[in-house]
Structure 1
Amino acid sequence: LRLRILDGKKVALIIDFAETIAPAAEVSSLSGEDRNSVVILKRWAQNPVFLQADVTVCLVTENLVELHQGLVQSPGVASITIPLPNEAERLDYIRSLVAVTPLPAGSDVSEETLAKLTAGLKRLQLRGIIADAVENRRPLTAKFLSQRKKELIEAESGGLLEFIESRYDLSMVAGHEAAKKKLYDAAAAIRAGRTDVLPMGYVICGPVGTGKTFLTTCFAGEMGIPVVKLKNFRSMWQGVTEGNLERVLSLVKAMSPIAVIVDEADAQLGDRSSAGDSGVSNRVFAQIAQFMGDTELRGKVIWFLLTCRPDLIPVDLKRQGRAEEHIALFYPDTEEERLALLRAMQKKTGTRVVSPEAERRFLERADSLSGADIEAVLVRAKMKSALEQDAAVDAEDLLVALEDFIPPSYPTEIELQVLAAVLECTSKGLLPARYRDMDRAEIIRRANELAQLVRD
């Protein structure tokens, strides 16, 4: 480099996969070669000879957090982010490809539709899809494109995002009428393009077995936009967790409008505590909080935080401006709601049995059964029927399974989860009648008492 500078040459040095030369880690944990690389690059960034000459050193990395932070934060270094192509950029690129190699005969997607359906894909991936269709003379259909995009996105995220393709809609959900009304309204606003009236996100809470995951999955079938589930992005290796999260958030932003489901959110998202993990939890929390609070993404990225312990989710994530709407689900209150839940579970499991005797016996025990318990009873009835090689589940199978079933009993934990949902709920209309006018101070006192019992 110095010889080139002495000759008066302009120099541009491009180092690809820079994270393999100067990886993000504590200096003490770097190998001798990596420490040497970091020192050399930092010296180049501050070298007065290089600064005066026409020298550019370009480090290329997929995720900035995977690069050594001492280098990233150096005053002689500028960070330039190249986002994934938006719809207009994808359309220009697709037109340039199709002008040279037209799509195979029988393709049912136009260039505009192809650009719209490939949100979140890179140009290389677009070229690969079109080249594959042309080389194999396979018509490019919307169905094939949807499946291929799902595979590419899941692979690009390293398996950290899972596409949710629900076979159900909200009509499959029994009870929870007030909660469904809120979600129906949100789905209508999405279809009408009124993303400005949507909350930034939802906290879906309630005791175990109330159908939080099923309700959200059914909402996915109602919305008409892509829905993904955020899987465990944490790693035992330093710097990898933050890199995983940055990759996932970049993909989510590029695929907007999109809904993101985080199951067991109280355990997944972490908090500001950095004890024992070198500050990973603190940095992850800051990344997620900053992304969720970006009001430019209102109606474009909708978060669903699912938990039975909403009190364990940090206030910073569930405040107004982030997960704004808190929907609480509870066990059915009336006989009509309990029978509706039984029939919905029968429909879901394919065990439609009309038996007044079975329904009467069910109602006698319904106080102690959650939706998950009812599903377990119906699955047992199906197993009994299958083992006896019956054509279908009958009333006797259902009665035997119901009599044999003993639901798990965690009264202290269940009561705590119910009270946590009551305290978290942001709409009085979602609360059962017995909780609406209950003294809030008494609920807090009892919840704190139960939380202490659970900890002990």
Structure 2
Amino acid sequence: MFDHYPGWAQEFAQKYLSRTINQFILHGNVHDLVPLQRKEQSDFVRLKSFLSEEFFGARDYVIFYDRSSGIYFRDGESKKDFNRALSGRDSLLGTDCANKMPKDPVRVFSLLEQYFRVRIDDKKSIALIIDYANTIVPMNEAGASGSEDRTSMVYLSRWAHDPMFLAADFTTVLLTENLADLNKTLVQNPYTTDIKINIPDEQQRRQFIDFESSGEEFQAFSEVSEKVVVQQTAGLNFINLRSILSNARENKEKITHDRLSEAKKELIEAEAYGLLEFVETEYTLDDVAGHTKVKEHLRHAVQALKSGRQDVLPMGYLVCGPVGTGKTFLVTCFASEVGIPMVKLKNFRSQWQGVTEGNLEKILGILKAMSPVAVMIDEADAYLGDRDASGDSGVSSRVFSQIATFMSDTRNRGEIIWFLMTARPDLMPVDLKRQGRAEEHLALFPPHTKEERVELFNAMKKKTGLQLTEEYTPQVIEQGLKTFSGADMEAALTRAKFRAAAQDLDEVTPEILDLALNDFLPPTYPEEIELQTLSAVIECTSKELLPERYQEMDRGEILSKIEELKYRIG
């Protein structure tokens, strides 16, 4: 009966037909088009049009409400009927609501309830669709809710369990992007159920492209095959996809790999309120100096992904090591080599009640839709918080719980790969580091052998664009007279370029390079660096990935040393 409906609408219909619930929350991709299969042809309509004309097409009255537009109707007859009822009410009470229709939820709900009760007595069927429901009953702690919010909650709760409304053909539908933006009392009400509308999957995107353009027309404005466009637009909704197709068709700008990638990046960042940032680089793992075994391990992951063996990949990686060892650069280069998009989570926390959880819900939904994707979280020990965080009305603990639950969903194995980076893995909660979440723990260390030091020097010379007057490797590097991390080396070589520029030279002489390297004094925090180093050693989950000097160290002694360093650092 509902086979031509998308999955969420079929679920909606089944729950509605159970006749036990009359209040529904639709959340997720609510401002997109709805796909319909009609007589072997696809059609795509706006959600509110689908609800009013298709899903509730047989209802006598379909009424819409949002704070901006106030009350509006599916058709003119419904509007006339409501205005007649309102005029009669005005005559009795001496009000003028028919001419000055209120828009605030309390007065609107009062008018609607009176109208509903009269029409239900007349055996009429009614559907009320409330858009932007999060502005009517927003997420607030009970004590922080205003009187208007609480009154709106009372009306909605009463309509959900009032025997008269339950017995009638009456339905309330609330629309919101993020379930976390709604008052928890309403969401958890046993008389209310929520249904998520997901971002379109691959099959739906293919149907939409076929709907928007014929095969010949598509080939005329796209240099990329339809199959590739379908694959590369994961994470976009139908309206985003229409924007790409319309731009190519109307502006005569053919779809190319580069334009498609750029358009997807811009659209997804906009959909995520700017809280997701795409990480892009021209470098690969070949440009990473040292860390030979770690790079080999990551290349095995690249091979598994490209071979379609997502089942053998870890849910996520914890990348740790002292500051300056190139954790972020390594992960960025991995993303470049593996050929899947990598995004970085920006600060989604807000000072406003409920907004943080709503932002995170939106981000996680987009990540799920655009898989396969890699997610980078820098300074993860500070960024993610923990389950026991306090002092912010429980926001941090709820955020931690949302992320931890999402990370442990095994359906995402090989589809969403997490990279948590930190110099202090000991500060991260065990919940995130355990198997089933960030399963592989990789440790990075500064170079110690001559080969590693020279490789780091050459890599940083390339990265900084250092031009030497002749081929030259400084003795301070070859003999290890100083310890340079990747960040230290980059800073020292940049100083050498600065010294050459001060002498009006385009290239750096060996003498200037030696002078800059010998003069460079990196900020030294020996105890902090030692603590970070030993924490990385103890955290690494693979013995063979550790440098030889750390493989046979007694773990009990390392733990004792870590505790001693923590005490001394304070």
Q: Please, what TM-score do these two structures have when normalized by structure 1?
A: 0.96
1:77 alignment counterpart: 192
Task: Name the amino acid aligned to 2:441.
Answer: H
Confirm whether residue 189 of structure 1 aligns to residue 285 of structure 2: no
Task: Name the amino acid aligned to 2:559.
Answer: I
8 Å contact kept, 2:315–2:416:
yes
Paired residue secondary structure (2:127): strand
User: Post-superposition shift, 1:332?
Assistant: 1.1
Distance 1:323 1:135, change over 3 A: same
Q: In the aligned structure 1, how far is the partner of 2:215 from the partner of 2:256? A: 20
Task: Name the amino acid aligned to 2:126.
Answer: V
Return 426-435 or 391-400, whichever deviates more. Answer: 391-400
User: Post-superposition shift, 1:364?
Assistant: 5.1
1:224 alignment counterpart: 339
User: What are the equivalent positions in structure 2 for 1:233-244 lying under 5 Å apart?
Assistant: 233-244=348-359
Q: In the aligned structure 2, how far is the partner of 1:44 from the partner of 1:388? A: 81
Count of residue pairs brought into register by the alignment? 455
User: Post-superposition shift, 1:299?
Assistant: 0.4
Q: In the aligned structure 2, how far is the partner of 1:81 from the partner of 1:323? A: 27
Q: In the aligned structure 1, how far is the partner of 2:353 from the partner of 2:258? A: 40
User: What are the equivalent positions in structure 2 for 1:52-91 lying under 5 Å apart?
Assistant: 52-91=167-206
1:378 to 493, 496, 505: 493
1:443 alignment counterpart: 558
Confirm whether residue 338 of structure 1 aligns to residue 431 of structure 2: no
Distance 1:106 1:393, change over 3 A: farther
Task: Name the amino acid aligned to 2:193.
Answer: A
User: What are the equivalent positions in structure 2 for 1:375-414 lying under 5 Å apart?
Assistant: 375-414=490-529
8 Å contact kept, 1:23–1:67:
yes
8 Å contact kept, 2:381–2:425:
yes
8 Å contact kept, 2:390–2:397:
no
Task: Name the amino acid aligned to 1:442.
Answer: E
Paired residue secondary structure (1:33): helix
User: What are the equivalent positions in structure 2 for 1:201-216 lying under 5 Å apart?
Assistant: 201-216=316-331
Per-residue CA deviation, residues 261-306 of structure 1 (Å, 9 max, x unaligned), is 1111111111012310111111111111111101111100000000
Per-residue CA deviation, residues 143-175 of structure 1 (Å, 9 max, x unaligned), is 111101100111111121111122111111111
User: Post-superposition shift, 1:130?
Assistant: 1.3
Per-residue CA deviation, residues 7-66 of structure 1 (Å, 9 max, x unaligned), is 211111110110011100112222222222122112211211111111110000000000
Structure with more contact order per residue of length (Cα contacts < 8 Å, sep ≥ 6): 1
Per-residue CA deviation, residues 365-398 of structure 1 (Å, 9 max, x unaligned), is 6543211000001111222233333222332332
User: Post-superposition shift, 1:358?
Assistant: 5.3
Confirm whether residue 155 of structure 1 aligns to residue 277 of structure 2: no
Paired residue secondary structure (1:105): helix
1:128 to 243, 247, 270: 243
1:453 alignment counterpart: 568
8 Å contact kept, 2:316–2:417:
yes
Task: Name the amino acid aligned to 1:51.
Answer: L
User: Post-superposition shift, 1:142?
Assistant: 1.9
Gap regions ≥5 residues in structure 1 = none
Per-residue CA deviation, residues 291-330 of structure 1 (Å, 9 max, x unaligned), is 1101111100000000001111111111111111100011
Q: Please, what TM-score do these two structures have when normalized by structure 2?
A: 0.77
Return 218-227 or 434-443, whichever deviates more. Answer: 434-443
Paired residue secondary structure (2:350): coil
Q: In the aligned structure 2, how far is the partner of 1:358 from the partner of 1:451? A: 38
1:276 alignment counterpart: 391
Task: Name the amino acid aligned to 2:304.
Answer: A
Q: In the aligned structure 2, how far is the partner of 1:8 from the partner of 1:393? A: 90
Q: In the aligned structure 2, how far is the partner of 1:365 from the partner of 1:446? A: 25
| Aligned Cα root-mean-square deviation (Å) | 1.7
Q: In the aligned structure 2, how far is the partner of 1:263 from the partner of 1:366? A: 31
1:46 alignment counterpart: 161
Of Structure 1 and Structure 2, the greater strand share is in 2
Task: Name the amino acid aligned to 1:255.
Answer: M
Q: In the aligned structure 2, how far is the partner of 1:21 from the partner of 1:437? A: 62
| Aligned-pair identity (%) | 56
Paired residue secondary structure (1:81): strand
Paired residue secondary structure (1:162): strand
Distance 1:148 1:26, change over 3 A: same
